[in-house]
Amino acid sequence: MIEVDRLEKSYGLARALKGISFTVQKGEVLGFLGPNGAGKSTTMKILTGYLLPTDGRASVAGHDVVAESLQVRRRIGYLPESTPLYGEMRVDDYLRFCADIRGVPRGKRTAAIARAVELCGLSRVTGKNIVELSKGFKQRVGLAQAIVHEPDVLILDEPTSGLDPNQIVEVRKLIEKLGSEHTVILSTHYLQEVEKSCTRVIIVNQGKIVADGTQASLLAQSPQGALLLTVRGPEASVLKQFHELLPAGTPVVVTARSGSSLDLRVEVPAGSVPIDEALARLVVKNGWDLLGLARERASLEDVFRRLTLASEPEAAHA
């Protein structure tokens, strides 16, 4: 549905995109992650035809975003960052304008608007001026505007930024609903958002893609989570025995002591065999009590931090 091939964009001397390539299949919900200034918005602006790329190509539904910009724009619904709307207009007038300008035929217009209003839960506010709405409702108007013409592709730039937690949950639910009918690209800082609503994740940093895959495949790349144990026994000998069992250099940290029990955190090196069983047996064999054993879950957040912080020193020289 979307093909991006070595896309580059420079703003004056600043290179915002340094050759980004990816494809999105029909029906995918793609999460675009990255720190501020990574190139997420720039990519989206090029796909929607607002900006022209400096180099490289991109196409939506087989139409080139530069040469056949109007064709592409007909197939896209776009919610820019910060949700720009005409505040002085009424919600229904605004949606009618959006339907008209996108060429929704007159006969289908009323139904199309009704559908967008229904999907976005706007029926209570259709007669209100946009400027009077809360931020959450404005965001919904922005989404309704993007879907009123039933586009093949939805491009949402930080659809939940600036909303309160309840509104975030609502908008996220809405995006999930929309994801079942449209191909969606959304950008975000919130990793939970990607974990909840996206089928695929692309992490960009400094104009380049640093990771591309499903959540599972990205998590697999990260180190295994640490093991957390609570053991009742003499600290010195527990640590000594642990170090003997584990591969040399494996960090074992006592995170808390209460009475005679110790909370231990064992960083398991990536790619090593699972050792939770062996540690449990060791504790029992020595006659200590094993009060708890848990595995810290690796999160997308770890992957994100690792990938986007790793190249930071390079930026300092650039």
Residues that bind other proteins (CB under 8 A): 9, 11-12, 16, 42, 45, 48-52, 70, 73-74, 76, 78, 80-82, 84-90, 93, 97-98, 100-103, 129, 145
Does residue 140 sit in helix, strand or coil?
helix
The span from the CA of 96 to the CA of 312, in Å, is: 47
Pick 40 or 73: Cβ nearer other proteins: 73
Pick 73 or 172: Cβ nearer other proteins: 73
Shortest distance (Å) from residue 136 CB to other proteins: 18
Dihedrals phi, psi of 61, to nearest 5 degrees: 50, 40
- 177's CB contacts (< 8 A; 6+ apart) are 119
Shortest distance (Å) from residue 216 CB to other proteins: 34
The span from the CA of 259 to the CA of 136, in Å, is: 50
- b/e map 249-287, b = 16+ CB within 10 Å: eeebeeeeeeeeebbbebbbeeeeeebeeebeebbeeee
Shortest distance (Å) from residue 97 CB to other proteins: 5
Among 97, 73, 74, 76, smallest CA distance to 85 is for 97
For residue 279, what are its two tokens? 């540690």
Residue written as token pair 């404005």:
138
Pick 97 or 190: Cβ nearer other proteins: 97
Shortest distance (Å) from residue 89 CB to other proteins: 7
Shortest distance (Å) from residue 280 CB to other proteins: 58
Shortest distance (Å) from residue 42 CB to other proteins: 7
Shortest distance (Å) from residue 119 CB to other proteins: 19
CA 31 from centroid of its chain's CA atoms: 4
In residues, how long is the chain?
A: 318
Pick 93 or 263: Cβ nearer other proteins: 93
Q: CA-based angle 103:106:108, to the nearest 5?
A: 95
Pick 76 or 133: Cβ nearer other proteins: 76
Pick 106 or 285: Cβ nearer other proteins: 106
Q: Which amino acid appears at position 54 of this protein?
A: T
- 305's CB contacts (< 8 A; 6+ apart) are none
- 210's CB contacts (< 8 A; 6+ apart) are 203, 204, 307, 308, 311
Pick 101 or 248: Cβ nearer other proteins: 101
Pick 63 or 306: Cβ nearer other proteins: 63
Angle 165-179/135-147 helices, nearest 10 degrees?
10
Shortest distance (Å) from residue 154 CB to other proteins: 12
